[in-house]
Amino acid sequence: MSEPVPLPSVATHETSASPDGPSRVGGGFVAVYVVAYLAVYIAVMTPVLASLAIRLEQIDPDGKEAALGLVVGVGTLVGLVSGLVFGVLSDNTASRMGRRRPWMLAGMPVLVAGALLIAAFGSVAGVLAGYVVMHLGLSMIMSPLTAILPDQVPEEQRGKVGGLIGFTAQIAGVAGFQFAGALSGSTTLLFLVPVLVACGGVLVLVVRMPDPRLPKDARRSGDLAGLARSLVFDPRRHPDFGWAFVGRFLIQFSLMVLSTYQLYFLTDHLGYALDDVTGLLAITGGAGLVMTTAGAVASGFLSDRLRRRKPFIYAAAGLFTVGFLVVASASSFAGVLVGSLFILFGAGVFGAVDLALAADVLPDREREAGRFMSIFHIASALPQSAAPVVAPLVLALGGGGNYPLLFVFASGVALLGGMSVRPIKGVR
């Protein structure tokens, strides 16, 4: 990262470190790639955290909770399906501009159109339609963006790059709240500015990055049946990737338990007033950002240096397990804070190294990186729907409101997530 960012050239790759893999990438490429990720995450996080809630409050104040669940749920589903489709399509694009660049460029006007539709329509149905369009644009950008890591970053640098990417979502969340606070007076700017930030970051990457052209004879079948088959993943054929998927799903599931139910734990179990809890969670968020960033960057660099991935996954699972047990036994906010910091440090460690691990064991990296990275993204998105369904069943045990048991359950899920990488043979 010490090299200066080159100004006009896209040739940011160094001499190849391996004849069988991508060339080493320079600091300029890494910087532009990470900034593009951060910019896109701002467009992703701002609606989820703030702007959709503000817009639906304006449109339907009495039914805003149900409306928000509908809009986010349908949008997430569309994003999962379309992400797979655009991942497969980008793998098979034989354009003069390369495989990834055309889709990223095409996604920008779609993303902007979706934001403008949300701002223009004064109904829940209109907001839903606009958010679906936004997700289509995001999928057109994100699917090729995630494929760039295995496409162009060699194994010995993936931990470092994954670590830098790993904390962009945390920063984007903070930035999303700031955008919402500053732009809440203008509905159009509230939705338009974050997507323009995303487009700006992606445009710089598109201009600067190399994107080798795919030979036309390397494309897969273009019929609908072939596309449908591409959306199905058989873990028996690629067990290493299948175990990486399971590990990501379980860890993300446990993390969603904390993020979804921490507020209710403080109010319903520990007896804090709601007005006080918002300030306490702000403290947790600020300290957690520091811990997540430290865990992601440190683990990413160290895993590359040591050429090891699994020990960091085990360590992250241990941090999750300890953190959840501390939260489960907490009798005050101080205990919740300490446990949460263990968990968030573990989330940083896991997020950086697990992304590198997935890229290391990616099946058919040269031809289908977009497809498999889009599949891997599902392991992060599904827990957003699964955790709120499973958690109430655990809470109901023992007469209801059993939050200590819920967090003990989450600690076990996280431990299983860490251990799930043990059968992987392709990495150490």
List the pLDDT tens digit at each of the 428 positions of the chain: 333 333 233 334 443 334 456 778 788 888 999 999 999 989 988 887 778 878 888 888 887 767 877 887 788 888 888 888 888 888 878 788 888 899 999 999 999 999 999 999 989 999 999 999 999 999 999 989 988 888 888 877 877 787 788 778 777 877 877 787 788 788 899 899 999 999 999 999 999 888 777 766 555 555 555 556 666 677 788 888 888 889 989 998 898 888 777 877 888 888 888 777 767 877 887 788 788 888 887 887 788 788 888 888 999 999 999 999 999 999 999 999 999 999 989 988 887 788 778 878 877 666 676 777 778 878 877 887 777 778 888 888 877 788 899 999 999 999 999 998 888 886 77
Among the listed residues 208, 204, 202, 212, the one whose alpha carbon sits nearest the alpha carbon of residue 91: 212
pLDDT at 171: 79
What φ, ψ does residue 8 adopt, rounded to 5°? -95, -20
Q: Is residue 427 part of a domain?
A: no
* Full domain range(s) for residue 265: 239-419
- Give, as one character, the DSSP assignment of residue 366: H
How far is the C-alpha of 76 from the C-alpha of 69, rounded, in Å? 10
Do 165 and 272 belong together in one domain? no
The 3-state DSSP class for residue 95 equals strand
5 in a structural domain: no
User: Does one domain contain both 34 and 165?
Assistant: yes
Domain end point (choices 201, 230, 259): 230
Same domain, 166 and 257: no
Same structural domain for residues 135 and 245?
no
Q: Which of 208, 230, 252 is the last residue of a domain?
A: 230
30 plus 108 within the same structural domain: yes
In-domain check, residue 402: yes
Judge if 172 and 251 occupy the same domain: no
Are the CB atoms for 398 and 300 separated by under 8 Å?
A: no
Q: Can you give the pLDDT at residue 410?
A: 94
Does 121 map to a domain?
yes
| Residue 101 maps to a domain | yes
pTM of this prediction exceeds 0.75: no
Domain identity same for 208 and 335: no
Cα–Cα distance, 264 to 260 (Å, whole number): 8
In a domain, 173, yes or no: yes
Q: Give the pLDDT of residue 252.
A: 87
Number of domains forming the structure of the chain: 2
User: Are residues 56 and 203 part of one domain?
Assistant: yes
Q: What is the pLDDT of residue 7?
A: 29
CATH code of the domain in which 217 resides:
1.20.1250.20
Residue 294 and residue 179 share a domain: no
Residue 96, pLDDT score: 83
Q: How far is CA 91 from the centre of its chain?
A: 20
**Pick from 196, 230, 264: which residue ends a domain?**
230
Q: Look at residue 355 and tell me if it is in a domain.
A: yes
Distance CA(96)–CA(107), nearest Å, equals 18
Same domain, 224 and 311: no
Residue 428 lies in a domain: no
Q: For the purposes of burial, counting CB atoms within 10 Å of the CB of 362, is it exposed (0-12), middle (13-18) or buried (19 or more)?
A: buried
188 and 280 within one domain = no
Q: Name, in order, each residue with C-beta under 8 angstroms of 7's C-beta and a sequence gap of 6 or more.
A: none
Residues 217 and 249 in one domain: no
